[in-house]
Amino acid sequence: MVRVTWREVGDAFGLRLVSGRETEKVVFAEDSSGQAYVLKAYSLRFPVDRLHHLLTHVRANGFRRTITLLLTQDGKPYWEAGGQRWVVMPRLPGRPAVYENERELARVAETLAAFHRAAVHAWSLRRGSDVPYLSRLTERYWEYLSAYRQASAQPGKSPIARWIAETGAVILREAEAGLAYLPVPALIAYSQRDVGLFGAVAHHDVARHNFLVNGPIVYLLDLDASGTDWQAGDLVQLISRALWDAQWRPDVALVATAAYERVRPLDPGERRLIPYLLRFPSDEMREALGVWRGIKGYSPSRSLAFAPRLATSVEARRMPRAPVPPLDRRGSAAPPPVIQSG
């Protein structure tokens, strides 16, 4: 494959880049006026046009705290070269969010809610009538079960294999319990509402590094994994990650939810779903699977740091953090009413 230099990318976008610094995924560069840019390469299969449409859509709806894609001299949001699609974005200022800081977490939750309010009626982004949020839970369970079986067969292969072999049964039991207690009909109804009625887009990856804090302003980055889905699933993911970072202080969940609802109120039924969904050990599975598969950005040291806190997290996930209605053990809970999603 022909190597494409960052200067060539800049030329395609009409930029005279004067310096650049490469990382694993991107290149940071600046032009002769000192304006900073991020250059990023995608596979030819990645739908850059769809990403550009979403970014244009949310900005038109008033959400401007996110990236923009520059257009090439041919008017496209990407330049195709070297078997990849290259995009260029003005670099946003700030540092990754700190979820243990409650004020910062509140600003992150408000930013996420503002994105959700703007990311509706994006019909060209619809992917069908499936239920992605529920699918991700069940898929993660089966992926982790497969990893547990492989690690148990070779526990001495690596430290992460030993950790999965030793703790996998506990995590899988918690996942099974989480799915067994989950009011599935209610979750499906809300997902169908957001996808089918509102064409609502969820971010799907609310890691700390995807929120840049610059004083009172918080920017939302990396919409690569976004898609039409139940938007409140992003809030569940944010709460779960914040609880991990804050050593399972229960007030963190209340801070994030209250801040989110100042911008985009939840239905009472959505609010009741949150503690059920928090019981599913998604973060423990994600960290272990990331190292197990050798995915960039996942390190054994960080993932193995979950080990001493596993017992605490399992116990904390079992504790309700909000009033929840009695479950219909037959799984026949009435679907929530279809109302406007803010």
pLDDT in tens, 84-104: 999 999 999 999 999 999 999
Q: Determine the residue type at 214.
A: N
Q: In the predicted model, what is the mean pLDDT of the chain? A: 86
Strand order in the sheet with 211-214: 95-96, 211-214, 217-220
Q: Determine the residue type at 136.
A: R
Q: Which residues of 270-289 are buried (b: 16+ CB within 10 A; e: fewer)?
A: bbbbbbbbbbbbbbbbbbbb
- Tell me how far apart the alpha carbons of residues 281 and 299 are, in angstroms, rounded to a whole number: 19
pLDDT for residue 310:
74
* Angle, CA of 237, 242 and 243, to the nearest 5°: 100
pLDDT tops 90 at residue 127: no
Instruction: Pick the range with the lowest mean pLDDT from 74-83, 171-180, 326-335.
Output: 326-335
pLDDT tops 50 at residue 338: no
Instruction: Pick the range with the lowest mean pLDDT from 57-66, 137-146, 321-330.
Output: 321-330
As a whole number, mean pLDDT of residues 42-67 equals 94
DSSP state of 334: P
- 217 CB neighbour count, 10 Å cutoff: 13
- Please give the structure tokens belonging to residue 50: 């769809």
> Is the pLDDT higher at 311 or at 214?
214
**What percentage of the chain carries pLDDT values higher than 90?**
63
End-to-end CA distance of the chain: 47
pLDDT tops 50 at residue 325: no
Using alpha carbons, select from 125, 126, 132 the residue that is nearest to residue 52: 125
- Tell me how far apart the alpha carbons of residues 217 and 94 are, in angstroms, rounded to a whole number: 9
Residue that is written with structure tokens 């599975």 in the block: 285
As a whole number, mean pLDDT of residues 254-276 equals 94
- Please give the structure tokens belonging to residue 2: 């022909």
C-beta contacts of 87-90 below 8 A and 24+ residues apart:
87/39, 87/40, 87/41, 87/42, 87/48, 88/9, 88/10, 88/13, 88/15, 88/37, 88/38, 88/39, 88/40, 89/37, 89/38, 89/40, 90/35, 90/36, 90/37, 90/38
| C-alpha radius of gyration, the chain, whole number | 21
Asked if residues 306 and 284 have their Cβ atoms less than 8 Å apart, the reply is yes
- Tell me how far apart the alpha carbons of residues 206 and 245 are, in angstroms, rounded to a whole number: 13
**What percentage of the chain carries pLDDT values higher than 70?**
89
pLDDT in tens, 221-264: 999 989 899 999 999 999 999 998 888 888 899 999 999 999 99
